[in-house]
Amino acid sequence: MYKIEKKDYGYRLTFGGFIKEDEMKKWLEESKVILPNGPKSFGVFVDMRTLKPLPPESQKHMNEGQKFYKKSGMVRSVVILASAITKMQFKRIAQETGIYEWERYIDEASTSNWEKVGLDWIKDGIDPDK
């Protein structure tokens, strides 16, 4: 399951469950329609608390999607996770796609106010890692 919502800071993405290749490809195609009609620079809040680790064929489309978001004007992004495996997977993908320095990862279990911390990073550049 995925969802793309427009927000005042840019976009809120929600990914949940087990996402197969066809669904991840659909997310990428939808993003390619939405982003060119949006703001020139934006932040992205990604809620992955219920996402299962992605299979390799889905990772390929996520990889392409991250590059597309960055190329389309993404300034900062935050990823909210509940799984250490998913966190490791997405850190690796972000390093591969070149967005790692603009992306922060927040474990919902260790940060009770994860939504505020994430929005502070996206909107004001307040780094949750410091």
Residue at 93 is within a domain: yes
Domain total in the chain: 1
Query: What's the mean pLDDT in 13-20?
Result: 96
Average predicted confidence (pLDDT) for the chain? 92
| pLDDT in the model for residue 35 | 96
Residue, of 95 and 55, whose pLDDT is higher: 55
Q: Is residue 111 part of a domain?
A: yes
**Does residue 91 lie in a domain region?**
yes
On whether residue 129 sits in a domain, the answer given is no
CATH number of the domain within which 34 lies: 3.30.750.24
Is residue 90 in a domain?
yes
- Residue 74 belongs to what domain range? 2-124
| Burial readout 2-33 (b: 16 or more C-beta within 10 A, e: otherwise) | beeeeeebbbbbbbeeebeeebbbebbeebee
